Amino acid sequence: MPHINLLPWREESRKEAQKQFLSILFLITLVSFGSMFVISMVYGSMKEGQNVRNNFLSAEIVVLDKRIAEIKELDKKKESLQQRMRLIEELQSSRNLGTQIMDELAKMVPSGVYLTSLERRDRALQIIGKSESNNRLSSMLRQLENSYLFERPVMQDITAAEQQSRLLSDFNMQFSVKPFEQIGEGDK
């Protein structure tokens, strides 16, 4: 058998395989770097898009915060105006309150009961007077309880007169005028 030297062919084959391996390795490295670059670009653009959306939302939040502040200011003004309107309505309705009190008391005081003093402090009224009988005073108390204008009548004291005429007893009674809201409901 003749001697055939296969070493150069093997070496060439090995070199060819090594070149192929290096080219495949270079190609894989190139594809890896390319795909990393593409992925980096995609994530970068997604991040940039999210930043743009976040900036837009931040700007809109600032605008809405300004509107909310304006609305709160308007609510304060509205509440202030409503409070003024309630005060004006109360003053308007209470300008005749003294006349209404006197008129209502005149209707409720039965014959035989005489008022000597009427004192008003804010909503509280105090009556001092004389009465021929306690039944007439109790009738007056019931009328005050059922009144649309008065509330919480309380008889402070009844004192039988010792001097002058024994027919009249002194009494002291307190009650109050209903608040404006309740008076308005009673009229309806």
Q: Is the pTM value of this prediction over 0.75?
A: no
Q: State the CATH architecture for 110-184.
A: 2-Layer Sandwich (3.30)
3-state secondary structure of 157: strand
> What tokens were used for 18?
């090594």
Helix (H) or strand (E) holding 149: none
Q: How far apart are alpha carbons 154 and 144 in whole angstroms?
A: 10
The string of pLDDT tens digits covering residues 95-139 is 777 777 788 888 888 888 888 888 888 778 888 888 887 788 888
